[in-house]
Chains A and B, each alone.
Chain A
Amino acid sequence: MRLNPLTAKKLNRFRHIKRGYYSFLAILFLTVLSAFAELLINSRALVVHYEGEYYFPTYGEFIPGDTFGLGYSYETNYRDLKERFKTEDSGNWLLMPLVPYDPFENNEYGGIFKPTPPSFSDRHFLGTDTTGRDIVARLFYGLRIALLFSMAFLVLTYVIGIAIGCLMGYFGGLVDLVGQRLIEIWSNMPFLYVVIIVFSVVPSALSNISRILILLTIMVAFSWMGMTYYMRTGSYKEKARDYVAAVEALGGGPIRTIFRHIIPNTLATIVTFMPFTIVGAITAVTALDYLGFGLPPPTPSLGELLKQGTDNLTTAPWIVASSFFALVFLLTLVAFVGEAIREAFDPKKFTVYQ
C-alpha cells in the first residue's frame, strides 16, 4: 500500500513522539496477548499426557473427569489431576498455564472462600477477590472484554456520528437545521436512566452475550452525537474548498464526495478523538459495572473489582490496589497515544493556509 506522503510524514512524526509510540506498542502487545489469554491464564491444562496419549484441553470441548479416571462426568479439575499424577508417579504428566486459574472458579483459602493475599506459591500473583477468584484472571479477562467492548463502541459511534455529521455539513440548510434540533433533543435524554429502565425490563431469559450487546447498543445510541458536531463543521469547511467543487463539476454525487474526498481530508479530527473515545468507553463501562448496571455477573470486569476493593479497603487492600493500578495504567497508555496522535496529525504543522 502506498501511503499519501503527508500521511507517511504524520506517521513518522508519531513514531518520534516516544512516549506515545511506546504506549501504542504496549497497548498493541496487550491486545495481542489478550487474544491468547486462554494459554496464559486458565484452569485448563495446556498439555496432558495420560496413558500414552496427548490431550490439549485449552480450546474446544470440555474433557470430563472420567477421561482421566477421576470418576466424574463434569469438567476435569486439572490442578487436582496434576497433584494426582505427582503422587501416582506413573509417567503421566501435564503442563498448566502460568496462572492456573480461570476467572470464575472460587478458590478456598484456609477452607473458606475469602480474599487471599498475593502469593507466588499458590500462583495467585495478585491475590484473590471476595469469593476467592483469582484477581490476575479477573483483571486480564476483564481488560480483554473492556478493550473489545470499547473497540466495538468506537467503530459503531464513529460510523454513525461521521455519516450523520458529514451529511448535515455537506447538505446544510434544512437538513442541517432539522438534524441539529433532533440531535439536541436526543442528547437531552438521561443516559443512566435509560440504562436502568431498559435493564429492568430486559427478560432474564437472555444470554449474557445478548445482554452485553444490549448495553453496547444503548451506549452507542446515546454517544454518537458528539462526533457529529466536529464532522459537521469539518464538512462545512471542506465543502467550500475548490477540490470539492472540482469533484462536483466532474459529476461526483454526494456519497462519493463525502466518503471519498471530504472524510479523508478530515481524518486528522477523527484520528485525534479516537483514543479519548476509547478512554471514555472503558470509563463508562467501568462506572456502570461499579453501579451494578453494567456487564452481567459473573462476567469479569474492572468496575466490579473496583467496587469490591472499596468495600474491603482495610481487610483486602490488594483488590483495590490491583484494579486501581490496572485501570490507571490502561487509561494512561491510551491517553499518551491520544496525545501523540494529536500532535502528529496537527494540520498546522504541515499545511499553510492561504
Chain B
Amino acid sequence: MKILHSLATLAVPLFVFWGCSSKSDESSKEKDPELQAKAESLKAEVEDYYRTKVALPIEVQDQLENGEVTQEEIDQRAAAGDFPKFFQFKNLENLPTDLAWEDGSDLPEIGSPKAIKGGTSYGTIQDFPRTLRTIGPDSNGSFRTLLLDDVAVLIAHRHPNIDEIGPNGFRYIAGLAKEWAVDKRSQTVYIRIDPKARWSDGEPITSDDFLFKFFFMHSSYIKAPWYNNFYNRFFSGITKYDDLTFSVRVSVDKPNFATYVLEDIPIPEHFYGELGDDFPERYQWRFAPTTAAYTLKDEDIRKGESLTFTRLEDWWAKDKRNFRYRYNYDKRHIRVVRDVAKSFEMFKKGELDAASLTLAEYWYDKLPDDDPLVEKGLVKKAVFYNQRPRPPYAMWINRDKPLLNDRNIRLGIQYASNWQLVIDKYFRGDYQRLNHTAIGYGPFTHPGIKAREFSVDKALEHFAKAGFTERGPDGILVNEAGAKLSVSLTTGYTTLKDALTIIKEEAAKAGLEFRLQIMDNTAGFKLAIEKQHEIHFMAWGYGAEMYPRYWETFHSVNAYNPDGSIKTQTNNLNSMNMSELDDLIDGYRASIDSNEMIKMAHRMEEIIHNDASVVPAFQIPFYRIGYWRWRHYPDDFNLMISESSSEFALSWMDVEEKRRTLRALRSDETFEKSIKVYDQYKN
C-alpha cells in the first residue's frame, strides 16, 4: 500500500448497478432462490456475529498476535464473559443525559453562495479503474478518490479551514450526523444520524448500516487485512440506541480519538446480501449505494474509455449547510487519457476544463503568462498555497546495506546531495527544501531542524572518516581495499528522472557515484517495500491528520523480524532500528497528552536527523492550475487543507459563458486577463 490511509479513507460507499458481465442477474435477482438462500444465511451469520463478537483489549490482541495465548483460550474466556460484547443493543433511556451535543454550526460555512448548479465538467484519468469496489484487491488506485475519498459524506468532516486544536482534536462540521457528542472518559462518541440521510438508491441510512460496517470490516470476505486489523484494533464496540442513534467506543486513548469515529461512513447492509468468499469478483463492477452527490449509471461506463457521473437530482444533503454550494456540476465526465502531454493539448483546445500547472515547465513554458489563451483572458491561471502535512519527497537510505550502515557515509551522502540546486534551477525556485519528514503538523512539526546543505568539503570529510580518501581515475572515491564509493539510487517516479540525474552529476563532485535506476511506479515501490533498495527516492502520501506517524516508518518492529531477518512489506524503508527511538515511539503512541506528544515528536525528529538516514529533498507548498474562464471558484479560491483544486468540489460553471468562450476562441473577442496568487494560507 503506497499511500498511508488517512482515517477518512477507510470505507466503502457506492451505487447499485450491474456490470456488463452479469446483465441477466438483474431480472432474476428477486426470484433467484439461490441468492435468496444466500442472503438469508448471511443474515443469520451477521446476527450470530452480533451476538457473539467480543471486544478484545489491545494487550490481549498483542498476546494473540505474538502467540502468547491461543484462540481457544480466548474463546473460553469470552464464553465465560471475561470480555465485553462488541455489539450492544440498548434503548434511548440508556443514553447518558449529560452529553454535550455539537454539530459544528458555529463554524463558518464552506463553499460559495454564488455557485450555480448545472453543466458538465470534463476531466481525465490515466488508467481505467480495475474495479469499482473501494475495498479489497486493486481498489486502492487513484480512481478511488472519485468514488469515495473526495465525494463521500462522512459522519462529520474536519473543518478544512480551521487548524485550531480543541479539547477533542480538530473542529468538525456535521455530515451524515445531525449532531454528535464526545465522552472522553469512556472514549465514546455518540451520534444522531440526520433523519434526511439516504443512500443514493433511496434507502434510509440507519444505525444498522453502522453495525453492519463492523461485521463487513472484520470479515475475511473482503480480502483486506489492513482493514480487518484496523477495525478490530482501534474500536472496542458499537451500541445501537434506536434506528438513528448509536455510539462507538474507541480502544486507543489519543487526544484525537473522536476522529476515528467521525471521519467514517457506514456500509449499506441492504446491498451486500451476496457477501461471501467471492466478494472481489462478485462486486468487481457493481456500484455500491453511496452517501455522495453523484451516481454512476451502467450506461455511462464505457470500459477502457470513459465514465460519467450524474448528480442525484434529489440528493438528501442538497440543502444541508456546508454541502449546499458544492457538487455543482450535473455531470462529471472522466476520460481515460494515458499520455499527460496529450491531455494538456486537449485542455488547450477546450476539451478539458482545467489542467494542473504545478510542474514548473507547465506553468512557465507550456502555458506561459503571455500565451495567447491567457492574454485573451480565455484561460485563467491560479496558484493556491495550501497548508497540510506535506508528502516528504526524500531519499530513504537503507541502513541494512553495506557502506550505508556507516553513519559517516550517510552524512557524506547528505552533504553530497544537491537538492537546493535542483529546487533553484530545475524547479525554478518554486518548491521549498524539505527539512525533515514531518512538515505541516502545526506545533508537532519541529521548527528548528534544517536539512544539511550541499558541501563538497564536508562530504569529503565524512567519506574520509569512513575510509574513502583517494579519488579513482573517474573521480569517484575509493578506499584502501580498492572499493568504489558507489551506491544505487532507485525510484518509481519516472517524471522526476531528470531531477535525479542532476543529483547524480552533482554527487560525482564529492566523489560519490549514484547508480540510477528509474522504474515504473509499481516496480519501484515493490523494490522498496521488499527492502531491496540501497537508497530509494519517494514520498509518502499523508492524510490531513493532527500529528505525524512514526511507528510505521521508524519503529524497529517494522525493520526486522524477531529472528533478525529483514521484515518486508512495511514502511520502515530505512531499516531503522534504534532502541531510544523505539521507546519514544511507544511512549508517543500511548500518550494521551498533546503537549507530551509534541515534545516526543520533536525529540524523535532530532534523533532521525542525527542518524542521517533520510535525505529530505523538497516539498511543494502550493498547487497551480490553469482553467477556462467558464469555470468558477469561490472568491478565496479553495480551502486550507485542500490537496487539489477539485478535492472539495467547490467549483461551478456557466454554460452560456462556455459557448461564448469557445466562440471567442475563433474570433478576436478578448476578456480580462487573470493570473492570481492566493497566499492567504502561505506561511
Contact = CB atoms under 8 A, between A and B. Distances in A.
A114 B365 contact: yes
Given A74-B510, A131-B502, A60 B473 contact: yes
B181 interface: no
Contacts of A131: 426, 498, 501-502
A72 interface: yes
A44 to B, nearest CB: 12
B63 interface: no
B207 interface: no
A27 B533 CA distance: 42
Contacts of A75: 475, 508-509
B515 A205 contact: yes
Contact of B501 (A73, A199, A207, A298): A298
Given A62-B473, A131-B426, A314 B527 contact: no
A67 to B, nearest CB: 12
B100 interface: no
Chain A CB within 10 A, most for which of B365, B424, B532, B533: B365
B498 A130 contact: yes
Interface in A59-92: 60-62, 64, 72-75
Given A104-B505, A108-B425, A112-B425, A298 B475 contact: no
B460 interface: yes
A72 B341 CA distance: 41
A292 B361 contact: no
A192 B534 CA distance: 27
B460 A296 contact: no
Given A74-B509, A111-B425, A296-B517, A205 B361 contact: no
Contacts of B471: 62, 64, 73
Contact of A204 (B497, B504, B505, B515): B515
Nearest to B511: A74
Contact of A315 (B366, B473, B488, B532): B366
B537 to A, nearest CB: 12
Given A131-B502, A200-B523, A298-B504, A62 B474 contact: yes
A297 B518 contact: yes
Interface string B434-478: 000000000000000000000010001000000000010111000
Contact of B534 (A111, A199, A204, A311): A204
A310 interface: yes
A73 B533 CA distance: 30
Interface string A106-126: 101001111000000000000
Nearest to B518: A297
A314 B490 CA distance: 31
Given A74-B510, A315-B361, A112 B520 contact: no
Nearest to A63: B475
Nearest to A132: B425
Contacts of B497: 297
B505 A205 contact: no
Given A292-B494, A297-B497, A310 B519 contact: no
A199 B490 CA distance: 13
A105 interface: yes
Interface SS of chain A: loop
A297 B505 CA distance: 12
A74 B475 contact: yes
B348 to A, nearest CB: 9
B673 interface: no
Interface in A184-217: 199-200, 203-208
Contacts of B504: 298
A22 B361 CA distance: 43
A113 B474 contact: no
Contacts of A292: 494, 518, 520
B456 A73 contact: yes
B428 interface: yes
Interface string B96-128: 000000000000000000000000000000000
A328 interface: no
A296 B498 contact: no
A74 B488 contact: no
A111 B424 CA distance: 9
A72 B533 contact: no
Contacts of B520: 292
A313 interface: yes
A208 B515 contact: yes
Given A114-B365, A204-B534, 5 more contacts: A62-B474, A73-B511, A112-B425, A113-B498, A199-B519
8 contacts: A60-B473, A72-B509, A105-B505, A112-B424, A112-B426, A130-B361, A199-B523, A314-B345
Q: Which 10 A-B pairs have the closest CB atoms?
A: A204-B488, A74-B509, A61-B473, A200-B523, A131-B498, A298-B501, A62-B475, A204-B517, A315-B365, A311-B341
